[in-house]
Amino acid sequence: MRTLILPATMLLCICAMVAWRGNRPVAAASQAFSDDFSAGKLDTSKWEIATYRSPDSKPGVNEGKYVADAFDFTTGMLRIKVTQLQESNGLVRSMGGAIISKERFGYGTYEFVMRMSTTADTPDGQGKTLTGGISSGFVYYNNSESEIDLEFLGNENAIHITNWQNPTPSHQPAGEVKQTDKVSDEFLGTQFRKYTLVWLPGSVKVYIDDVLVVSHDKHVPSSPAHIILQHRGTNSNEWGGTAAVGVTRYFYVKSVKFTPAP
């Protein structure tokens, strides 16, 4: 599991997010994939719901969990909420949500249309970005054997874009196994943005509204990976920030699309 000593170690415990799949083989998809979440319910032929402890949990400080009732589709798209409650002993209980694609996907173009974590309870409503919430769309497989993150931190009002290639996935990632950049943009939570991830052999490029913001050529993974959409609560002076107790936050996803590389 990752520690919270430094933000640079941010996602080492994301392995928990797909651990429930065990070692079952999952074939990589060679066809295009898309979901606009307009059916009024989750398409369970494409996704599974996570219901376990979330990253950034810490005994006595933050008890984070992904729960099924964090999701709804009443706004015509996917909405994932985070709620945080504090007990008399100071423990914060953080409830959020995550979905994981049943298939794995490899080289190609991934497009996410998302509005990051804010207090807005409608897709186009006004809302504030607060500390204590992390929303993200990313791809992940096998203890960061492959991982590419688009992770928005409420306490920073910024997105961290990181690709990982763990050469020994039987162990936690260690040493120089990632390349990362932080992109600050005050409008990531106030409106929908299109995030385009182009993953090719030796190259990861990320665009926001068709403008290139990151180009990486180190530690580029190669194994096909699951698509994950998640919104979780934190309570830390470091990654994600301290809890915003009693204030519900919302993460919206209009669509996800994957087009395989030629």
Domain membership of residue 15 (yes or no) is no
Q: What is the extent of the structural domain holding 111?
A: 33-260
Mean pLDDT of 32-37: 98
Percent of the chain predicted with pLDDT > 70: 89
- Give the torsion sign (CA, 117, 249, 154, 218): negative
Check pLDDT > 90 for residue 24: no
Please provide the DSSP assignment of 61-104 as one string: TEEEEE-GGGEE-TTSSEEEEEEEEE-TTSPEEEEEEEEEEEEE
Domain membership of residue 19 (yes or no) is no
Check pLDDT > 60 for residue 17: no
Angle at 167 between CA 161 and CA 172, to 5 degrees: 75
pLDDT at 4: 32
Q: Give how many domains the chain has, as a whole number.
A: 1
Domain membership of residue 209 (yes or no) is yes
Domain membership of residue 79 (yes or no) is yes
- Residue 194 neighbours by CB under 8 Å, 6+ apart: 111, 112, 113, 207, 208, 209, 210
**pLDDT range class, residue 13, cuts 50, 70, 90:** very low
CATH number of the domain that 204 lies in?
2.60.120.200
User: Distance between CA atoms of 13 and 140, rounded to whole angstroms?
Assistant: 11
Domain membership of residue 173 (yes or no) is yes
pLDDT at 29: 63
Domain membership of residue 7 (yes or no) is no
Check pLDDT > 80 for residue 106: yes
**Core vs surface per residue 111-136: b (16+ CB within 10 A) or e:** bbbbbbbbbbeeeeeebebbbbbbbb
Domain membership of residue 26 (yes or no) is no
Q: Which pLDDT tens digit goes with each residue over 216-244?
A: 999 999 999 999 999 999 999 889 999 99
pTM here is 0.90
Domain membership of residue 2 (yes or no) is no
**pLDDT range class, residue 2, cuts 50, 70, 90:** very low
